[in-house]
Structure 1
Amino acid sequence: MTIYIQRIYDDTQIEGIRILVDRVWPRGISKDKANLDYWLKDIAPTSHLRKWFNHDPQLYAAFTEKYKKELRENEQQRQAFDELKSIIKQSNQDIVLLFGSKDKDHNQAVVLQNSFY
């Protein structure tokens, strides 16, 4: 089993259990097109952290540390992270963590993926 990350706006869908890890539903994407198995919106960074980061690659290292701290200390995020771990543990399929950001290298899905490797 492999954990992939993919932008939800990509035309090609990676096969596997599809999990959206954004707090806000992606604009212009219908539920049918998203083809989700789960939407773990509570696993996403808080609005405060997301706005602070603003997808600035120079802030990514600090964002990663702050986000990991949120996953440990924020009850809703910790529960959502535990749910993700449970989904992964019980699955015999690949996992696809979906995100909406245009930056494929600096976002919460990358942080989550790296948490399992």
Structure 2
Amino acid sequence: MEITLGRVGDAPTPPGAVRVLVDRLWPRGISKASAPWDHWLKEVAPSDGLRRWYHAHPGEQAEFARRYREELQDPVHQAALARLRELGRSAPLMLLTFGRDIDHSQLPVLRAVLEAES
């Protein structure tokens, strides 16, 4: 499965890629009709509690990744992961976030989980 990571509005979309926003919150100022992505899978994003914890502990990337991987085992996250795998079967995936620092977001963890399952 080919997976690229990007920040909404910054990264060029690979040709034919399915663009999936994987943030829990809908970004302010963007209408659903003008969204620059194909799907929004908020169910695969970190929980509000984990998101807030990580915001308060930005240097704890390893602990965030551990907790997020744990969350990804629950049924809601598993269903969202199955949807991402389904989307990635027919086209390359581009996982998107509005976060400023892609390397310290959920995106690398999510990509690693999807690639390990492929």
TM-score range, shorter chain: 0.7 to 0.9
Residue of structure 2 aligned with 1:100, choices 57, 81, 98: 98
**TM-score, normalization by structure 1:** 0.84
Aligned to 1:6: 6
What value does the CA root-mean-square deviation take over the aligned residues? Answer: 1.9
**TM-score, normalization by structure 2:** 0.84
Contact persistence 1:55–1:106 (CA under 8 A): no
Aligned to 1:109: 107
Gaps of 5+ in 1: none
Shift of 1:27: 2.3
**Percent of residue pairs identical:** 38
The one-letter amino acid of 2:84's match is L
How far apart, CA to CA, are the structure 1 residues paired with 2:79 and 2:47?
A: 14
Alignment of 1:1-117 (within 5 A): 2-10=2-10, 12-15=11-14, 16-31=17-32, 33-54=34-55, 56-72=57-73, 74-88=74-88, 90-91=89-90, 93-115=91-113, 116=115
Shift of 1:106: 0.6
How far apart, CA to CA, are the structure 1 residues paired with 2:99 and 2:53?
A: 15
SS at match of 1:105: helix
Contact persistence 2:23–2:41 (CA under 8 A): yes
Ranges of 4+ aligned residues in structure 1 off by more than 4 Å? none
Contact persistence 1:55–1:107 (CA under 8 A): no
Equivalenced residue count is 113
Contact persistence 1:26–1:100 (CA under 8 A): yes
How far apart, CA to CA, are the structure 2 residues paired with 1:29 and 1:56?
A: 28
